[in-house]
Structure 1
Amino acid sequence: MVLRQNILITGASSGLGEGMARQFAARGRNLALCARRTDRLDELAAELRAGYPGITVATRALDVTDHARVFEVFDEFRAELGRLDRVIVNAGLGKGQPVGTGRFDVNRQTLETNLVGAVAQIEAAAGIFREQKDGHLAVISSFMALRGFPGNLTAYSASKAGISAFADGARLELGRLGITVTDVRPGYIDSEMTARATKRNPLMVSAEAGAQALVKAIEAEPKRAYVPSWPWVPLSVAIRMAPSALLRKFA
């Protein structure tokens, strides 16, 4: 297994990004962390520097819908750390509203962040990796990429299906250049995003357990990973075969 020492994580101020940053710091990796909320990001960076004085933790403010800035920040991180070994495309939104209810603005925001913003990150990372002739790109998609879902999940599942498809295409293109691409599809992991749900899902795992599972999967660098593998690998098969009537219960 290749040691990826310098790791860039977007959306690192909370949730899965923060959890992964903590896990990689504990493994002695240098981190390039970016997010919109710099106050929380700076607090995390200070904590990690104090807890793991042997690592470098660089930070930048970044809204991934500012596409030009995505490229600038990634280049700045590369210059600061010397190189980027792994980029984790994690920043995203869980918002959405039922189709035709007058909230195109919300659904557009989800698609612009989770799909177009993620594509900008992939492009920026791939450009750097092409120059280095090496690198690992981990794209945080979702279990919801498997099918279209109704209600508040329609835009979200569409955005994740789109970015998973883009990651698949990028893998075919970049693999021959020595660049690895992993499509990571988390199930229900406790975070700020999932905390907004009105019902507690019995399949939810804790934030720490979820972050550990994510990092373990990313380190293995497979083409695709459902995280945690249990129960999401067998459920991925079931969801593909599920009748539409069952999917409507997600609304």
Structure 2
Amino acid sequence: MTSGVVLITGASSGLGAEMARQFAALGYDLALCARRTERLDALAEEIRRTSGRRVETAALDVTDADAVPAVFTRFADSFGTLDRVVVNAGLGKGAPLGTGRADANRETAMTNFVGALAQCEAAVEVFRRQGRGHLVVISSISALRGMRKSMTTYAATKAGVAALAEGLRSERIPGLDVSVVYPGYIRSEMNEHVQQKTRFMVDTPTGVRAVVAAIEARRVKAYVPAWPWAPIARLMRVLPLSVVRKLT
């Protein structure tokens, strides 16, 4: 069994909750945070019961610039270490630009990018202090190109967090590993409102197994599940936008 402490943000539902279950099954203790504490605490109790792992929780809105470092530091002090931080909290809201829903786009930008920046700041501060750590940023396959309509802002934020991670990796901070994971279409609460059949969509446990495997391997960059998203990612970087629209 593996041992260590993994902090996951946005852990009350979707990919975050399933990552918590799967990391616990691998032998990790967990520091879980999210805005919805009722669901978070229920998840923590489930994991304690099924895995016997230590699980601590905290309420956290990642757009609260003061709360993020406070919560991360409190977890680090309580466990004595943070081995890995998964920057996962995010929103999927959005509307075509210029259609009167600037509020939805702004909320997504604040959560997905500004909130991710706060998490990276807090995590790397802990890791610098420890002299080691693994920062994981959950991006999206949509980050590879500009997306249209309601996906425009979301995709831009996910490209932004990938660039943050790459900048940190370029800095070559001693003891710090940085991974960016680009999930393809994984069914979760964020996309459960999508009624039509989506090509290449996988269920949450299957998709998260691929995410967790990439994280465990400390991959610098991972498109998951690898099939079909690794070859699609290569194509998306070079194809004209008129073709990209048909793939996404």
Report the TM-score range of the alignment, normalised by the length of the smaller protein: over 0.9
Any residues of structure 2 matched to 1:28-107 within 5 Å, and which? 28-53=27-52, 55-107=53-105
Any residues of structure 2 matched to 1:1-251 within 5 Å, and which? 5-53=4-52, 55-173=53-171, 175-249=172-246
Partner-residue secondary structure (3-state), 2:165: helix
TM-score, structure 2 as length reference: 0.97
- Greater mean deviation of Cα atoms: 241-250 or 136-145: 241-250
| Partners of 1:224 and 1:114 in 2: CA distance | 19
TM-score, structure 1 as length reference: 0.95
Partner-residue secondary structure (3-state), 1:162: helix
Q: What is the count of residue pairs matched by the alignment?
A: 247
The letter for the 1-side match of 2:200 is L
Partner-residue secondary structure (3-state), 1:20: helix
Partner-residue secondary structure (3-state), 2:66: helix
1:6, 1:31 within 8 Å by CA — same for their partners in 2? yes
The letter for the 2-side match of 1:156 is Y
1:10, 1:90 within 8 Å by CA — same for their partners in 2? yes
1:151, 1:250 within 8 Å by CA — same for their partners in 2? no
Structure 1: give runs of 5+ residues left out of the alignment.
none
| Partners of 2:79 and 2:173 in 1: CA distance | 26
**C-alpha deviation, 1:81, in angstroms:** 0.7
2:3, 2:27 within 8 Å by CA — same for their partners in 1? no
Partner-residue secondary structure (3-state), 1:177: coil
**C-alpha deviation, 1:249, in angstroms:** 4.7
1:150, 1:250 within 8 Å by CA — same for their partners in 2? no
| Partners of 1:200 and 1:194 in 2: CA distance | 12
Amino-acid identity (%):
54
1:150, 1:247 within 8 Å by CA — same for their partners in 2? no
**C-alpha deviation, 1:243, in angstroms:** 1.5
**C-alpha deviation, 1:248, in angstroms:** 4.1
Partner-residue secondary structure (3-state), 1:92: coil
2:140, 2:182 within 8 Å by CA — same for their partners in 1? yes
| Partners of 1:34 and 1:250 in 2: CA distance | 34
| Partners of 1:73 and 1:237 in 2: CA distance | 38
Evaluate the alpha carbon distance shift between residue 198 and residue 68 of structure 1 in structure 2; reply closer, same or farther with a 3 A threshold: same
| Partners of 1:160 and 1:57 in 2: CA distance | 28
Deviation string 1:146-197 (CA, Å, 9 cap, x unpaired) is 0001111000000001110111001112x34110000111000010011122
1:188, 1:194 within 8 Å by CA — same for their partners in 2? no
